[in-house]
Structure 1
Amino acid sequence: MADLKRYVVGLDDKGKSAVLQTGVPNQQEFPGFFWRATLWKTRETPVDNSIPGDRSVEGGAARSPFPNGMLVRAMEFWPEPDPETTEKLFADLNKVAAENHQPGEAVKPRHPTMHKTDTLDVFHIVRGEIYLVLDEDEILLKPSDTVVIQGSNHGWSNRGTEPCLILGSMTDALPRESSE
C-alpha cells in the first residue's frame, strides 16, 4: 500500500495561509487487488473554498464524484490474479462503492475491470506499469505517463510483478452518447 502524506492548506483564524489538516482518512483496501485513497472531493463547480472540514470523507467509498463535483484520488493496483478472481474482486469493489459501472450488456468486455463513468478523468502514473485496456486497444502506461479519459469504456490491468501507483482526478461530466 502506498505511503502517502496529504497536507490541506487554507486560511487560518487570522487569515494567513497554514496547514489545516494532514493525513489520508478516506482509504479503502481490497487485499491482493486494489487500494485507493480519496484525497479531496467537492460537490460544486466552481469550488467553494470557504467550506470547512475534511471534504475527502464526504460520500464514503463512492467511486464517482458528486453531481457537479470532482475528486482527487490515489490508486494502487497490485499485480492481478487470474481473470475469475479479478472479476470477483471488481464486483466486490462495486458493492462497497454502491455503484455498478460495468460496460453495457451489448458489450463483451475485454477485461474484468472494464467500466465507464460519466466523468472526465485525468490520471498520472507515479510508480510501476499498468495496461489501460480499451474496447479494441490497450496501452502500456509507465511512470510519468498521463491519460485523459472522456467518459469512455476502459479497464486497468497490472500484468507486472510490482504495484502501480496512479494519482488523478475525476470530474463530473455530461454522459457521452453511445454507439451501442
Structure 2
Amino acid sequence: MYLEDIKITFMQSCIADSKKIRFKAKFSRDISEILPYLNSVLKDAIYNKNALSLTLRKEFRIITLHSNMLAVSKAVNETDAYEIIDFIKKLINNTYENKEKINPLYEMRSKPSVVEIYNHLPKLNCKKCGEATCLAFASKLLSGEQNIKRCLHIYESHNKESLDWMKDFLQVFGC
C-alpha cells in the first residue's frame, strides 16, 4: 500500500460556515509524485505545480492535498471528516496502483471567464433564474452561487451545443 495512514492533526469550526468543521491531517508519506496523476484522474481538480497542491470539491467540501498533508473545509462533522480521509486514502492508493496506465497532467486547468460562460448562455435576460441579467447569472455560476438548472432556456433544443459545453465546464470545475 502506497499511503498507509492519514492522521488528523487539527480540527475546529469552519470559518465560512460555523455549522461545519475544517480540519488538517498528515499523510504517512510524501505524495508529491502522485499529484500530477491525481490531476489527470480528477477532471474537476485544480493543480498547482509550484505549491505542490491539488484542490478538489466533493459536493460542498473543499479538499486540498499538499505533498505531506490534507486540508479540508466545510466537512459536516467528525464522522464526515473520517469518511473524507478514507475517500482520499483510497483515491491516492488506487491512483498509485494504476499510475502506469495514467498520463500525468502537470498543467493547471484554468476556469473560463465570466464572458466565456455568458457567451454560452441564451442571453435573453429573462430573469427566470433569479438574476437581473445573463451576465450576472454567468458570474454566479462561475462562483458556484447559481445552478445551471435555473437557466430554463438553455434546455431548449436549439441550445444543445451550449448546454453540452456548460455541462463539460461544470463537470471539470465542479461549479
**Structure 1 or 2: more strand by fraction:** 1
If the TM-score is normalised by the length of the shorter chain, which range does it land in?
Answer: under 0.3
**TM-score, with structure 1 as normaliser:** 0.26
Q: Larger Rg: 1 or 2?
A: 2
**Structure 1 or 2: more helix by fraction:** 2
